[in-house]
Structure formats: structure tokens, C-alpha cells
Structure 1
Amino acid sequence: MVNGDARLSIDLSSSAIAATVSRQGTRVPILIDGRLVMPPGVAIAPAGDLYVGVDAAAARSLPADHRFVNHPADHLASPAQAPDPAQPNPVDVLAAVLRHVSNHATHQVGQPITDLTVTIPPAWGPRRRTHLSKAAARAGLPPPALVTAPAALATYTTTLGLTTPENSCLLVCQADHHPPTLTVLQTVSDGYRELATQQLHGPHDLDDLIARHVVATATTGHDPLRSVVDHTDTITAQEHGALRESIRTARHQLVQQERAPVMLPTPHHPVVITRDDITTAAQPLLDQVPDAVAHLLDAADVDIEHLTAVIVRSAPGVPALTDRLAAAARGTPTVVDHSHALADGALNLTTTHQPGPRAAAAQLPRVRLRISDLTGALLIGACSLALLLQAVLTADITTLFTRVVEARISLPQLGTAGALAILTALAVAHLAPTTWLAGTPTTPTPEPTTGSLIRRGYLIAAVGGTITAALYGLATGTAVGLDYTPYLKWTLGTALPLALCATLVAATAPRIPADALPTWLAMTRPAITHAVTATAGIFLMRAALTITTPVDLTGMPGLVGSLGAALLGTATALTATRTRLARTITAPGLAIGYALVFTYNTNSALIAGYLIALTWWGIRLTTNTLQLAFPNVRSALHRLTDRPAG
């Protein structure tokens, strides 16, 4: 069953379209046509059919009667109803792009999109914003929350550890889409306020500048290509597009390597360029940076000393732009190059300032507690007591003149009894958010929230389970007439990790978004079958070693012991794994392996393996709870660990 809303974020301000879905606190980057980012181009057939996700290279092979729109969002400045019926309606074209992306998102997450966030350039005003809202409506999407690209970038950097106090100012540069844009933001309580923005204009974009430099370097003064590249109307569209695409590819290659090839139009040979060539070609753009920063700060009424951070989404292969910004702003820029940075940042911004209810304030429907609801907890509790009693009753006690001097008892089995005592308490705590101890109360006392019930239930489970495990150790020492310390170490040693996990769950679960609570409750339900299977296996193994019930009645201790070991191996595999494939592979393997190696000497090791698996289950439960409660921390850790070295 699908639970929780699906919030889609689409970045329309970059050179390629990226999309992210937030569902139940987890961020999912959307693959569009098998690609992590989608080219923004749209091909339009004569009959009006739209083909989305076409890049410039593919557009060169389109039939002559097809039109190509490189970036539909850039055309929203034109009227919504084009005067020429032959011209495509930019709103319809953008609607096709949004529909295509949302269809892939819906298919990938398995549920409809309930909220939409779109990242837009900072220069967009009411007209283009209105056109975008109309495009979203025509695509069958909810009304979009619009976030400007600088605000999205600034928000994304907070997941990288950048802190910006309220009322501080930021300089944000987005250079991956022509023309490069500089913006000054001020941090406010509900996000960011745009103080000023300015574009770095020039007669040519970066790829054209590089093309001119490459041709000038690779040809002589009388080569026709020199005059042709200066007048793109005299060069064929196919040749010009191929040259620009080759330069764009080379720029991306220079991010990771020192040299890259560029293909020139026939009959010229390919040339090799370096980062220095890119810097030289981009000099007209780079020379604008100091004055542009100064004018921008004046327009924003901000001094350089007021800037607390400089954030750059740089153009691939142009590191000199970052250096110029660092010199102009007198600070070390934070460079953002993640493909989904703007989509994730916009989603973080809208989620942070439009938060949904959390478990601490939510109230799930509750029903009266029935005896049948306690069946699982009672079964696990019975398993715990059964293992404790068998361990004590089958202990090999040595006496000297009526004085007990030694007791050989299965300490790992005692530890399992203590761990199952905690598991019993967790099974009871799991019922707290959704059940009443009695009928619906008639008093006007306010009903406690789900978060409060989770906190109380799991704290009581941690304390009560630990006390029960301690009593197990004390009772064992009393029963055999020896010091209880070694028994207490085992019962508490196996119970305390699970108790610590329960305490962490109690502290963090109230922060889980309310729409993710049903999934969390399903995920935290103790696996009763696994615990019962493990108990049966341990019980049979001990019976085979001590020739007690049921082996004293059936005989065949070897067969019974191997059967018990196989059950324990199966339970260990089921407890340690989650996916069906992993369980299908590991369960038979561990069952057969445990059965083959079972002896008196390996008995304790096999039980210890199950205890490790049970502890891993508790750690996994805690980790999943933390991920739901603090999704931004998880994203930050992923970003830090995934960043390339150097």
C-alpha cells in the first residue's frame, strides 16, 4: 500500500532539466528516458506532434519540416497566444515537457504527484510565472511553488554544511546557462530575499567565444573558416551546430582531464584544446566580472564586508570564472556542481518553510486493544520464558558436599532470552500509537498525539525490557545457587543494545512526518515468525545436547539437533535481511550450513550469530527512523561522501 505524498521538483533554470521527488522523507532523483538529466529541447513535427528531450546534436538529424525549440522555458516571454498560427504555443510546448517529466516521476515512485515545485531564473516576472502556472495546469499537475535559482542554490548549500545567519547576504552566480547571472540574496526567516540581480551580457555566448578562439588558433589568416565563423549566417546550421556541440563536449571533458579534442568542419583536422584555451577564449566574459560584482553590490546597497558566502554553479571547464569571483568578492566560493542541486534545493526550501505535520502533532486513528492484538507480543514473551526455563532446568550442576561449585549452562541461550524480553516490550510498544487500553474515553481529556505515544511506549519498552533481562540474570544465579554476575552479563549484554535502539527511536520518532507514519509502523513491527522459529531451533538444539524433552521421548538427538540448527539458521537469515531475493538466497544456505556444523562445541557460536542478527535488526530500525526524522542530514551526508576528491 502506498502511503505519503509525492512532491515533485523540476529545475527549469539550468542547461539540462533535472527532477527530484520527495516521498516519505526520502529524495528520489528521477531518471527521464534512462538519463539522470534531460536535454530541454523539443522537436515539433508538421502535424503538431511534440518530441521531448531532444538535444542539439540529435536536432541536426531532424527532417527539414520539423521545428526545434532548444529551451522552451526561454520562450515564455512571448505572448501565450502566438499571432502566427504556424508558430508553436510556448505554453503548450512547456506543458509537454512538464507532462513528460511528471509521467516518468509517477511511474518511478508508483503514485501520483501531489505537489509541484519548479526552479526558475531570477529575472522571471509575473508574465512568465503565469505562463508557467498555465503550462503546469495543462500538464495535469498541481499549481507549482516557484523558487528562483539563486534561492535554490543557497538552500542546497546548507546541506553541504554552509551556514548563513539571518539577515546575512550571499552572492550567487549561476553560469551553467547562458547568460551567466549574478544575484545578491539576504537570508530572512522564511527563506531568502532577492536584493539585486544582473546578467553578464555579451555579443556571443561562451561556446561561440571558444569557437572563435579555436578557429583563430587552428587556421591561418586566409582560411575561409575564419570569416565564416564570424558570420554564422554564412555557415550551414549543421556545421555550426556540430562545432558548438563538439566544444560543449570538450568543456565537460576538461573538468576531469587536461586536454580534449574539438572537431572542426570538413576538411579541417581536429584540434586539441586545454583549460588555458578556455580561459583565453572566455576573457571577454571574465573581464566583466569585477565591474559586474561592484555594480551589483551597489544596486543591492551592500558592501563586500556584508557578504558571508559566495556560491557558484560554474560553467563546465571554466574554473577561471570561480577565481575571478573569488577575487572580486574577496571570499572563497562554494562551488556546486551536482546535477540535481537546484531541484533538491528548491524542494528543501519549500519543504522547510511549508512543513507538513509531524508525528509529534499528528493523531492516527486508534481502536480498542483486543487480546488478539497482543498475540504476537505474548508469543515472543512465551519464547523468552521458554528459553530461560530450559537453560536453567537443563543446567549441569556440580556439587561438593551439598555445595554447588559449578554450573554448566548455555550462556548464549540466556542472552537470547534477555534479548527476546526486550523484543516483547517493543512488540507491546508498537501497539501504543494505534490502540486504546479500553473503549473510547468519554472524558473531555485531550487525546495524546501519536508522537507522544511513540515516545512513551518505546521509553517504557527500553526500561521495562532492560529490567526484565536483569531479573533473568538474577533469577538464574539464584536458581543454580551461584554468583549471578556471569549470567547478568549475558542477559543485559544482549538486551542493552536493543534498549539503546528503543531509546533513540523514542527520542527521534516524533519528528517523523505524519504522512510517513504508516510506513514507519509497518517497518518497525517485530517479526514474530522469525523469533518463534529461532526459539524453536535453540530449544531443539539444547534438547539434543542434554537429552531432554522432546528428545528423551523421540530419540534421534543428532537429527533433532540438526533440525533445530537449520531452524536457527533460517531465522538468522530472515532477521538479518530485508529483501525477498536476499532471503531466498541466504535462508537455505544458512539452514543447511547450520545443520551440517552443529555440535556441542559450535552450539554457542550458532546462537551468537542469531544474537548478532537481532542486534543488526535493531540498528537498522533505528537508522531508518533517523532517516525519516532527519532527511536533510541524510542528504548532506550523501553529498559529502559522493563529492569527487580534489
Structure 2
Amino acid sequence: MPSGGTRLSIDLSSSAIAATVSHHGTRMPILIDGRLTMPTGIAITPTGQLYVGLDTTAAKSLPADHRFVDNPTTLLGKPAHVTNTAPPDPVDLLAAILRHVNHHAAHQVGQPVTELTVTIPPGWGPRRRGHLAEAASRAGLPSPALVTAPAALAAHAATLGHTPPEGSCLLVCQADRHPPTLTVLQTVSGGYRELATHHLDGIPDLDHLITHRLVHTATADTDPLRTAITQPAQDNAANRLALLESVRTARQLLIDQDRAPILLPASRQPTVITRDDIATAAQPLLDQIPHAVHQLLDAADIDTPHLAAVVLRPADALPALTDQLTHATNRPPALIDHPHALADGALTLTAAHQPAPRAGAARLPRVRLRVSDLTGALLIGASSLTLLLQAVLTADITTVNTWVVGARTSLPQLGTAGALAMLTALAVAHLAPTTWLAGTPSASTPEPTTGNLIRRGYLAAAVGGAITAALYGLATGTAVHFDYSPYLKWTLGAALPLTVCATLIAATAPRIPADALPTWLALTRPAITYALIAAGGIFLMRAALTLTTPIQTNNTAGVAGSLGAALLGAAAALTASRSRLIRAITAPGLAIGYALVFSYDTSGALIVGYLIALTWWGAQLTAHTLRLAFPLDRTILRRLIDNHHIQGDRPPHA
């Protein structure tokens, strides 16, 4: 999907229309006319104007000259009946639905839809698929990627953890629409293959079954309502629609309640139904399940043990269906009853076949660079220079006849100064992808991509930070008039791990998926506060050690040194981990431990502990970048493991 694109997924296979949109890696359900799902009905005025999103209750209040189509998808591919009026074009009706959903999606996201996915019932062939593509074209939408409902349900179940191994089979039952459908799918690389499908035809819709039983149990034998239900006529259509709608409402209530009221037409007393009544009325449907599953498995040429999972989109208030499927397959089904399950699943399935946009092709929003943006980098740079100057100015220089024969200073402190110089360069590089150094791009100098900015910024940080650290070592040797080799080893050696990290990030970060860039940029921002705490702690420790000697001590200096050690210990704990719980546990412990063991002999080891924590921070950041740039293909890994097991099970050659 192109950077900044919007993919819309619409479910046309369920009893109500649901839509989900993916925008910059974020998915959200679309509210259509303020509802999570939209009825499939359409009203047609005598002038040809269309009103979408009507249910049967709203259809009863339409004027007599208006026509009502309950679901345009049922008309696709069917010949038009000869009537006195021109039959409605089902492609135009479907285009109106798609146009209406697209309008709400574009308004909610704030951008036009660039890609479309549509969930369709199983069994749709080239004719109806072609009609759907034509409807999308008439609605001004791109050509849709089509996903069958069973595959969409299986894909949504996989996101919930119900993931069968590749090559295995699963049974998908969609019982929320008429007729209920059973499908056997086989998992293949990147999707599913349909092996067999079976429709539970030959019985009325579940609402009609419940209505028929309700009328025969709640009315007398001579009640004309019985005849109206069994032999519907045009003059009884209003009563039938009202009763069916009351049954649908009661089934929704029975999801959370044990009893629900049913309003009977015209002067009849209301009645009450329970879940047991639903199960009894649906017995003709339930009785078909074992035989239908057996036929389906035979058609797919598999046995029950071949099923790795069963996925069920249940009918409202019909738990007995779950029990029947469990008994028929010897596996408890995974229930998927979220209204956007099919739209989300289809989106997951089609997104897997789209190459994810990379940082190398993305362009993040950027702002003009300000002095306040550089504050953190300037503070770390100042801390680095302060530690360098303190180590040089407090060096214990030994001379013989004006010749310098020795110079003692805190080498780990010099190493920290070099590491903080490298951290300063990383803080500046972090600003490169999101700020302008000068002006705005023109036609002759187009804006570089975020990936190029990351590459340039972190390569410059690696080179600039390493050079600065090397200059620190040379400057120290020059200042104390002694061999610079040990100083250079510490300043450059402490900065070298972060230099390697910056180089690896520069090489691999352009491969990061574009939708992961904001989170990645937040993680790469150096912890400025923790670095300043560490620098302050080292400064206090060195100051305390230069004010005291083994013979003469100063209590004030000793307290300052212990405080500095505590700050350094806390900074090491805060730098090494991102977990709040681990920080809350380790920071006080290390702070107290550093303060207790602080002495002239241990100060260097304490500073080295912080350098290790800083190096660990850089290694974690680099490892996270590599995982994003080169995600592990679990399918390939599983194949390698399986092949290893197969080869290990083979008998040795004679």
C-alpha cells in the first residue's frame, strides 16, 4: 500500500453491512449513519432516487409508490422478472451502498480511499464477481480485492490466536445468515484454499422457523394468523413483517437475557420466548448439522482428525448450535461474533499480500528546526565536555626536572566523556527525519525520503561522534603533556560500541515499515535526563575524590561522593531497561549499592558499570531496528524445524 494510503474493507456476506478502514497502520471501524453496522435494504422512489441502509421496520413506513429491496446482493446474477415497471439494476443498487459506505469512511479518516477489499459469500463465480467490480467502478472506488467469508473468518480467528499449522484444515460455519454455510479450508502460504462448501438449504430461515412455532403455540387453532404465516398473501405482508421484526429483536435480547417479549399483531396478547424456545424452533436446522458435516468432510476428502480447528460465527441466542458442531467434529469451535470480524479478517488477509511501505519510500511530516529542539543534544554535549575538562584539570601529573613522567586521572571518566559525545551525535541524528535544517523543498530540490534522512543522519553521527571521541583522547594527552595512547583507547573505545550501533541503524533503518516509524523514532530518542543524571553523579564522585586523600578526609566531600555514586547507580538502572517495573525495582537498589561501595578504588568500576548500561541501551535499540527491518518469517522457520525433525527420524543408511 502506498505511503499514506487508506484501505477500506466492506463485508457484504453478513446479514448487515460492516466496514473497517486501515489508515497509516491503524485500523478503525466505520460508523455508517452513526451505526456500527448498516442494514442492507434500499428504498427506490418513483423517480429512481435511492435511500440505502433501511431495515424491514423502516420499510413499513415507506409510501405505497416506493419499492423496497431487502438485499441487492441476492439479485446479482439472476434474470430480471417481467413486470409492469422496469426492474431495478442490482449493480446500481450495490454501487449506491458502496458509495454510501465510502463517503462515511473518507469523512471519518479525512482522506480518500485508495484500496478496497470486499468480503463476499462463498460460491460467487466470475459473473457476480464481475458485477461487484462494476459496482465499485460506478461508485468511484478502485477495483476491489475479493475475499470469501470463510477465509475472512479464518483470518480473523488467526489474529485471536487460533492459528492452525500450514497445510492443516479447518471448518468454518457461518450461521448468522440464510442459508447457513459450512466450509472446509486448508491453510496455504499466505492464505487459505477452499476444499468444499455446503449450504444448509431446504429449511426456512431461522426467524421464520421461530415465528412459525411461536404462532402455533401462542394462538388458537382458528386464529387466521396461522394461515397468514403458512400461506402468506399480500394483504398479510404487514403483519408478517412486523412479527418477523419482533422475533429478530427478541433474539438480540436473548443474547444477554433469559426471556424476551414478542408483540403479536392486532389485539392479541404479547407472549414471551426463552432460549429453549429458540433451540426447539431451530431443531430442523440443528438436526442437519451432523449429516452436513459428514457430507462436507467427504466432499473435501478429509476425516475428522484432519481438522485442526473449527470456527463458528453463531446465530443469535442459539448455543445448541455450538454443542452440535462440537459433537459432530469432536472439537469445540472458536466463536467469532464481533460485527466487524469479517471486514477485519479480509483486511488482514489482503494486507498480507501487499508489500508493506518502507521508510525508504515514506515521507514523515517535518517541522522547522528550532533552538529548543537542540536543547537536549546541547545539554549532553555540555556534560561530555565538562567531564573531559574535569578529568584533565584534576589529573595528578608527576614531573622530574620539568619532564612529565606520569599522569593519573580517571580513565573511565574520560571514556564516559567519549561515550556522551557519541550520544550527542545520536541525539542530533534523531532530529534529522522530523525537522528542516533550512527552507522548504522546491521542484529542483525535492524533499528526501525519511529513509534517506535516517541513513544520512546516523552515518554522520557515527563518523562525527567517533572523530570527537578520538579528539578527546588526543586533547587529553596534549593537555597533560603525556602519552595519549591510554586516553585515546578509553575515549574511542567507550564510543566505539555506539558507533557500531549507529552504523547498523543507518544501514537497516530505511527498511523499517513506514507505519512503525513513529514508534521507532520515539524509541531512538536518547534518554537525555538519565545521561545528565549520570554525568552529574560522575562529576560529584570525581570532585569528592580530588578533595580527599587516604590520610585526610572531608565529611562534606564524602557525602557528595556517595550522592554522586547513588545518582550514577540510578542512571545505570534507568538506562539499561525500558520496563517501568524493572526500573522501579533496580534503580533504588543500584543507587543504594553504588553509594555504599563508593571509594577511591571502586569509583572506576562504578563508572564502567554505567558504560555497560549505555552500551546495552544501544544494543537493544539496534536489535529492535533489525527486527523491524528483517522480520522473522515464522513459516520458513517452521519448515526448517520440520525438515530437521524429518531428517532426524530417518533411519541411517546402510
What TM-score, normalized by structure 2, do the two folds share? 0.64
Counterpart residue type for residue 221 of structure 2: G
Partner residue of 1:202? Answer: 202
1:265 corresponds to 2:261: no
C-alpha deviation, 1:228, in angstroms:
2.6
Query: Aligned partners of 2:466 and 2:23: how far apart in 1?
Result: 35
Pair 102,136 (structure 1): closer, same or farther in 2 beyond 3 Å: same
The count of aligned residue pairs is: 504
Q: In percent, how many aligned pairs have the same letter?
A: 58
Partner residue of 2:518? Answer: 520
Partner residue of 2:109? Answer: 109
Partner residue of 2:301? Answer: 301
Matches within 5 A, 1:273-422: 273-359=273-359, 362-363=360-361, 379-386=375-382, 422=423
C-alpha deviation, 1:109, in angstroms:
0.9
Query: Aligned partners of 1:337 and 1:131: how far apart in 2?
Result: 29
C-alpha deviation, 1:275, in angstroms:
0.8
Query: Aligned partners of 2:467 and 2:251: how far apart in 1?
Result: 65
| Alignment deviations for residues 35-84 of structure 1 (CA, whole Å, 9 cap, x no partner) | 11111111111110000111111111111111111111111122489887
RMSD over equivalenced CA pairs, Å: 5.5
Counterpart residue type for residue 135 of structure 2: A
Pair 43,505 (structure 1): closer, same or farther in 2 beyond 3 Å: farther
1:236 corresponds to 2:241: no
Counterpart residue type for residue 124 of structure 1: W
C-alpha deviation, 1:450, in angstroms:
7.0
| Alignment deviations for residues 493-549 of structure 1 (CA, whole Å, 9 cap, x no partner) | xxxxx99x99999999666434x48x7399759999x999xx9xxx9xxxxxxxxxx
Counterpart residue type for residue 106 of structure 1: A
Counterpart residue type for residue 382 of structure 1: L
Matches within 5 A, 1:135-284: 135-233=135-233, 236-284=236-284
C-alpha deviation, 1:164, in angstroms:
1.7
Matches within 5 A, 1:473-552: 512-514=512-514, 516=515, 520=518, 524=522
Matches within 5 A, 1:3-42: 4-42=4-42
Query: Aligned partners of 1:257 and 1:419: how far apart in 2?
Result: 64
Query: Aligned partners of 1:138 and 1:80: how far apart in 2?
Result: 20
Counterpart residue type for residue 324 of structure 2: R
C-alpha deviation, 1:219, in angstroms:
2.3
CA contact (8 A) 1:77 1:127 kept: yes
Pair 373,311 (structure 1): closer, same or farther in 2 beyond 3 Å: same
CA contact (8 A) 1:378 1:424 kept: no
C-alpha deviation, 1:382, in angstroms:
2.2
Query: Aligned partners of 1:27 and 1:87: how far apart in 2?
Result: 38
Query: Aligned partners of 1:30 and 1:9: how far apart in 2?
Result: 10
Counterpart residue type for residue 520 of structure 1: P
C-alpha deviation, 1:427, in angstroms:
3.2
Pair 219,345 (structure 1): closer, same or farther in 2 beyond 3 Å: same
C-alpha deviation, 1:266, in angstroms:
1.8
Query: Aligned partners of 2:465 and 2:263: how far apart in 1?
Result: 71
CA contact (8 A) 1:82 1:89 kept: no
Equivalent position SS for 1:347? helix
CA contact (8 A) 2:8 2:117 kept: yes
Query: Aligned partners of 1:46 and 1:320: how far apart in 2?
Result: 45
Pair 243,525 (structure 1): closer, same or farther in 2 beyond 3 Å: same
CA contact (8 A) 1:80 1:131 kept: no
Partner residue of 1:426? Answer: 427
Partner residue of 1:60? Answer: 60
Query: Aligned partners of 1:523 and 1:109: how far apart in 2?
Result: 24
Query: Aligned partners of 2:363 and 2:68: how far apart in 1?
Result: 54
Query: Aligned partners of 2:468 and 2:312: how far apart in 1?
Result: 57
CA contact (8 A) 2:430 2:521 kept: no
C-alpha deviation, 1:33, in angstroms:
0.7
Which sits farther off after the overlay, 224-233 or 200-209? 224-233
Moved over 4 A (4+): 79-85, 363-366, 372-379, 385-394, 418-424, 432-436, 448-469, 501-512, 521-528, 622-630
| Greater Cα radius of gyration, structure 1 or 2 | 2
CA contact (8 A) 1:174 1:314 kept: yes
CA contact (8 A) 1:172 1:182 kept: yes
CA contact (8 A) 1:183 1:196 kept: yes
Equivalent position SS for 2:226? helix
Gap regions ≥5 residues in structure 1: 367-371, 395-414, 437-447, 473-497, 540-618, 631-646
Equivalent position SS for 1:327? helix
Query: Aligned partners of 1:34 and 1:305: how far apart in 2?
Result: 45
Counterpart residue type for residue 283 of structure 1: Q
CA contact (8 A) 2:278 2:318 kept: yes
C-alpha deviation, 1:292, in angstroms:
0.7
Counterpart residue type for residue 35 of structure 1: R
Partner residue of 2:394? Answer: none
Counterpart residue type for residue 24 of structure 1: H
CA contact (8 A) 1:381 1:420 kept: no
Pair 258,133 (structure 1): closer, same or farther in 2 beyond 3 Å: same
C-alpha deviation, 1:125, in angstroms:
1.0
Query: Aligned partners of 1:73 and 1:66: how far apart in 2?
Result: 19
Gap regions ≥5 residues in structure 2: 391-415, 438-447, 473-497, 537-619, 632-654
Pair 333,386 (structure 1): closer, same or farther in 2 beyond 3 Å: same
C-alpha deviation, 1:289, in angstroms:
0.6
Query: Aligned partners of 1:168 and 1:312: how far apart in 2?
Result: 17
C-alpha deviation, 1:257, in angstroms:
1.6
Counterpart residue type for residue 335 of structure 2: V
Equivalent position SS for 2:432? helix
Equivalent position SS for 2:316? coil
| Alignment deviations for residues 179-217 of structure 1 (CA, whole Å, 9 cap, x no partner) | 101111111124111111111113411001001111222
Query: Aligned partners of 1:272 and 1:27: how far apart in 2?
Result: 41
Counterpart residue type for residue 37 of structure 2: V
CA contact (8 A) 2:505 2:625 kept: no
Query: Aligned partners of 2:56 and 2:466: how far apart in 1?
Result: 65
C-alpha deviation, 1:388, in angstroms:
7.5
Give the number of the structure with larger relative contact order, counting CA–CA contacts within 8 Å between residues 6 or more apart: 1
CA contact (8 A) 2:155 2:348 kept: yes
CA contact (8 A) 1:179 1:200 kept: yes
C-alpha deviation, 1:264, in angstroms:
1.1
C-alpha deviation, 1:86, in angstroms:
2.0
Equivalent position SS for 1:353? coil
Counterpart residue type for residue 293 of structure 2: V
CA contact (8 A) 1:77 1:128 kept: yes
Query: Aligned partners of 2:22 and 2:507: how far apart in 1?
Result: 24
| Alignment deviations for residues 231-261 of structure 1 (CA, whole Å, 9 cap, x no partner) | 2227622221111111111111111121111
Pair 48,234 (structure 1): closer, same or farther in 2 beyond 3 Å: closer
C-alpha deviation, 1:451, in angstroms:
6.2
C-alpha deviation, 1:26, in angstroms:
1.1
CA contact (8 A) 2:508 2:629 kept: no
Matches within 5 A, 1:418-457: 422=423, 425-431=426-432, 454=454
Query: Aligned partners of 1:38 and 1:462: how far apart in 2?
Result: 56
Partner residue of 1:49? Answer: 49
C-alpha deviation, 1:306, in angstroms:
1.0
Pair 364,36 (structure 1): closer, same or farther in 2 beyond 3 Å: closer
C-alpha deviation, 1:131, in angstroms:
0.7
